[in-house]
């Protein structure tokens, strides 16, 4: 066992970045040949004695590049269970297969299992390491039956710290670290950042068809933004962001079949002075969706007026032309 770990990491000076040729690729087949007691005996660093052990397989950057409590970190990881005292050949949870997308979370905020928090809190940027965790810092005494994790199970964690940054004002607000009651202490730039963050989270929820969750995020974000008065003194970008919120809320409420509420947000969006909007803001879409709502409510004349307003902005839009034809057809029918 010791020989295997010597091949994984050969640098004798832990403060220096080893030559890539000195760091062998992990042969997981070799690793899985060793029992839990062997890991407990040979993993050299005791992060929490009796519970978490570590071996570094690729050194990170200097001492100033350490992830700290509260940082927003991005990691790649593989989690392995033990079966009959030996690690399984495939991870039961991984960011490298099949998704191949790193995981992002706030460090030491209980968003992940304890061993992952503690592991990253003991790493430098770019570092790659193997951790062995007792049940106390993994899945506890009861395990997780649906993941086939047995009670009091040890796990093996392979993790790489990809990035660590201080949270933005928007991320702090989304995570509840800044209250909306503190809005008056923030400048427009910070409020804009908060607005962008809630919109991004709402869009994520919408993309997963979690429309009510999307609505909640959009409304929270709008609550932050609406502390500023919509007038000539408000920046163009700020008003365009508010307009985007109205558009997104309309779409989400239509998905939820809440047409009256969608209509209210359509009307609010229509109040934003057009001089603040560009074609990229898709004001035609607002009128198009307003026409959809009126059609659903069988207010054909209002639907037609909204549709014609959309056509004035985008006269070659085939989708709008088709809706206008449908309004006329339904009205006659």
Measured distance CA(80)–CA(92) in Å, rounded:
6
For residue 105, the SS3 value is strand
Same domain, 151 and 204: no
Same domain, 160 and 227: no
**Which of 113, 148, 165 is a domain's end point?**
165
**Which of 141, 165, 189 is a domain's end point?**
165
Assess contact for 204 and 213: CB atoms under 8 A: no
Q: How many domains does the chain have?
A: 2
Same domain, 15 and 149: yes
Which residue segment(s) compose the domain that 174 sits in?
169-332
Same domain, 27 and 81: yes
Give the model confidence (pLDDT) of 283-330 as tens digits: 677 788 888 888 888 888 888 888 888 888 888 888 889 888 888 887
Assess contact for 249 and 199: CB atoms under 8 A: no
Residue 148's domain is classified under what CATH number? 3.10.50.40
Q: Could you tell me which of 286, 285, 305 has the C-alpha nearest to residue 295?
A: 305
Q: Check residue 34 and give its pLDDT.
A: 79
Q: Check residue 278 and give its pLDDT.
A: 56
Assess contact for 184 and 227: CB atoms under 8 A: yes
Same domain, 315 and 181: yes
Q: Check residue 29 and give its pLDDT.
A: 67
> In angstroms, how far is CA 270 from the centroid of its own chain?
31
Contacts 24+ apart (CB under 8 A), 206-215: 206/248, 206/251, 206/252, 206/255, 211/252, 211/255, 211/256, 212/256, 214/248, 214/252, 215/249, 215/252, 215/253, 215/256
Q: Check residue 277 and give its pLDDT.
A: 56
Measured distance CA(263)–CA(226) in Å, rounded:
19
Give the model confidence (pLDDT) of 259-279 as tens digits: 888 888 888 887 776 655 554
Same domain, 125 and 183: no
Residue 294's domain is classified under what CATH number? 1.25.40.10
**Residues of the chain where predicted confidence (pLDDT) is lower than 70:** 1-30, 62-65, 98-99, 227-234, 273-283, 332-333
Per-residue burial over 247-265, b if 16 or more Cβ lie within 10 Å, else e, is bbbbbbbbeeeebebbbbb
Crossing angle for the helix pair 259-270 and 283-296, nearest 10 degrees?
150
Same domain, 256 and 144: no
Q: Check residue 276 and give its pLDDT.
A: 56
Measured distance CA(105)–CA(164) in Å, rounded:
10
Same domain, 11 and 155: yes
Same domain, 157 and 188: no
Give the model confidence (pLDDT) of 81-106 as tens digits: 998 899 988 889 999 876 678 999 99
Give the global pTM.
Answer: 0.64
For residue 32, the SS3 value is coil
Q: Strand 52-58 to strand 128-133: parallel, antiparallel, or no bridges (unpaired)?
A: antiparallel
Q: Check residue 53 and give its pLDDT.
A: 94
Q: Check residue 218 and give its pLDDT.
A: 95
């Amino acid at each position: 066992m010791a020989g295997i770990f010597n091949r994984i990491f050969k640098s004798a000076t832990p403060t220096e970045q080893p030559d890539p040729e000195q760091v062998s690729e992990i042969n997981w087949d070799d690793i899985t040949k060793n029992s839990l007691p062997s890991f407990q005996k040979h993993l050299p660093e005791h992060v929490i004695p009796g519970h978490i052990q570590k071996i570094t397989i690729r050194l990170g950057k200097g001492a100033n590049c350490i992830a700290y409590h509260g940082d927003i970190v991005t990691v790649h990881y593989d989690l392995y269970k033990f079966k009959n005292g030996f690690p399984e050949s495939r991870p039961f949870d991984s960011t490298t297969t099949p998704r191949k997308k790193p995981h992002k979370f706030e460090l030491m905020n209980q968003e992940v299992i304890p061993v992952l928090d503690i592991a990253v809190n003991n790493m430098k940027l770019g570092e790659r390491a193997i951790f062995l965790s007792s049940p106390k810092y993994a899945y506890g005494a009861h395990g997780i039956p649906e993941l086939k994790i047995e009670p009091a199970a040890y796990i093996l964690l392979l993790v790489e710290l990809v990035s660590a940054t201080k949270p933005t004002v928007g991320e702090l607000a989304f995570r509840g670290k800044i209250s909306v009651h503190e809005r008056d202490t923030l400048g427009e730039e910070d409020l804009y950042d908060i607005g962008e963050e809630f919109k991004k989270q709402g869009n994520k929820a919408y993309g997963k068809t979690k429309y009510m969750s999307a609505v909640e995020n959009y409304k929270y974000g709008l609550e932050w933004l609406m502390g500023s008065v919509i007038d000539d003194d408000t920046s163009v970008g700020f008003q365009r962001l508010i307009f985007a919120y109205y558009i997104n809320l309309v779409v989400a409420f239509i998905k939820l079949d809440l047409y009256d509420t969608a209509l209210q947000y359509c009307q609010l969006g229509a109040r934003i002075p057009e001089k603040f909007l560009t074609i990229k803001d898709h004001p035609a879409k607002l009128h198009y969706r307003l026409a959809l709502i009126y059609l659903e409510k069988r207010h054909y004349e209002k639907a037609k007026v909204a549709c014609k307003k959309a056509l004035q902005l985008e006269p070659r839009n085939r989708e709008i032309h088709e809706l206008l034809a449908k309004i006329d057809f339904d009205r006659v029918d």
